[in-house]
Amino acid sequence: MKTVTMSRREIVRGLAAGSVVVLAPGCAYNEELGRSQLLFVSSGQMAQLASSAWTDLKKQEKTTNNPKYVSRMNRVAPKIIAAAGGDPSKWEVQVFDSEQLNAFALPGGKIGFYSGILDIMENDAQIAAVMGHEVAHVNFNHSGERYSQSSLATAGLTVTQVAVSGSQYSGQIMGVLGLGAQLGVILPFSRRHELEADKFGLRYMDRAGYDPNEAVRFWTRMSAQKTGAPPEILSTHPSDATRIAQLQREIALLGKS
């Protein structure tokens, strides 16, 4: 199928006429986040995109069944998913055999960790910190919010066109889903999304019985792995100092510091 590009005016007109498939009419206030979200796509629609991206990713990236990694993931994932209000039986967990310090979760219940990041995690609580962060992205449909924002800002594909086009548009799909540059288009989550995911991910891990202080220890360890990070104002991710400071405030609020 050909790519169809639309101007901002055409997108808005299409939304009004119903020719662009959406479920949410626009801004909706999210009580838990304490802010409004611009959402023209539902979690279900984003799950369609994610299913295609997940299939492509497992073809492109080497996976591993090494018990050294898989057993740890299988211990932590059900606890975090349940603590976040989900059904662990409906989620799929996969470990990718790569030295990348990376992890992600996709709409529709997909969690991917790279062996590289697991290698620097000292205990299950540190896995829980990152897993909680990624599951929070899914719970609050951050990828759908990114899609909605970019659709109004630039010309692009409709959800339906991307979803049915398969691997032809895998780069765009992975970009919308917030995956890193090595997987496609560079469209990571915003600083706001990242800090929200940190905040609620911390709550999930605490609810699941893990020590939230391990989140600070992990991000301190991650910070030591980096060299030449750009200033925060030039980055879509918060600086490590900003992230750690917020985590410490949240831990104090939980009474666990």
Strands 103-106 and 92-96: unpaired
- Give the number of C-alpha atoms closer than 13 A to the C-alpha of residue 21, restricted to the C-beta side: 13
- Amino acid 193: pLDDT: 83
178: left (phi over 0), alpha (psi -120 to 50) or beta: left
CB 136 within 8 A of CB 200: yes
**pTM surpassing 0.85?**
no
- Amino acid 151: pLDDT: 61
- Amino acid 150: pLDDT: 66
pLDDT (tens place) for every residue of the chain, 257 residues total: 322 233 333 333 333 333 333 333 467 777 887 777 777 777 777 787 788 888 888 998 999 999 999 999 999 999 999 999 999 999 999 999 999 888 988 889 999 999 999 999 999 999 999 999 999 999 988 777 777 766 654 544 444 444 434 444 444 444 545 444 333 333 345 778 888 999 999 999 999 999 999 999 999 998 888 766 655 444 566 788 888 999 999 999 999 87
- Amino acid 127: pLDDT: 98
Calculate the alpha carbon distances from 62 to 55, 56, 185 in Å.
Answer: 12, 11, 20
Q: How far apart are CA 47 and CA 159, in angstroms?
A: 11
